[in-house]
Amino acid sequence: MDEFSDIKLSRRELLIAGAITATAASVPGAAGAAPGAPSAPPVTSKVAFQVNGKSHTLDVDTRTTLLDVLRENLHLTGTKKGCDHGQCGACTVIVDGRRINSCLTLAVMHEGAKVTTIEGLGNKDKLHPMQAAFIKHDGYQCGYCTPGQICSAVSVLDEIRQGIPSHASADLMARPQATPDEIRERMSGNICRCGAYSNILDAITDVAGSKA
């Protein structure tokens, strides 16, 4: 044991050495990769769809999400990247009449689809009724989640009009109504960190009443 008697490691040094070893082991191919070896090029594919009424054909990496294509390729930055895990709803868009979290779906999965983002619902010169209601009822604070909230709210009222039930529907055989409980349940996937929920509910209820 004499040959080890001069080795002295502090607890901090031991932890750092262990972390470096674990990191090196977790990198795929790190041990056998030749220095300077080129990485494989990404696999790309063409995808054609309509976004806000305009046709687009793009050549994209097959791993690219619809959210990133909208923001980075088409520069439609109204759709926000929040959690990037489908938990906050900031990236909600409407695809073929149904709302989806665009961060959870690949762009190449939507060949021929019709995509509507917040920019396609209305603009400052001609607001969508839901956009106008959010302004009227102050349904936002920082505004980051607002595009997803509005796209989701428009789809919520469409779902109710189509008679699609939710977990809050007491009678699955009866047509659902735009009650506060129904709206809260259907909007539960859209998170507002500022806490403007009561104003958002007022805005959606206002639009539901005007269309009833």
| pLDDT in single tens digits along all 212 residues of the chain | 555 445 555 666 656 666 665 555 555 554 555 666 678 888 999 999 999 999 999 999 999 999 999 999 999 999 999 999 999 999 999 999 999 999 999 999 999 999 999 999 998 899 999 999 999 999 999 999 999 999 999 999 999 999 999 998 988 888 999 999 999 999 999 999 999 999 999 999 999 996 53
- CA 144 to CA 91: how far, in whole Å? 10
Specify the pLDDT at position 98.
Answer: 97
Strand extents, DSSP E, the chain: 44-51, 54-61, 92-95, 98-101, 114-116
Q: In the prediction, which pLDDT does 10 show? A: 66
Q: Are 118 and 53 in contact (CB under 8 A)?
A: no
Q: How far apart are CA 183 and CA 201, in angstroms?
A: 7
Which one-letter amino acid corresponds to residue 132?
A
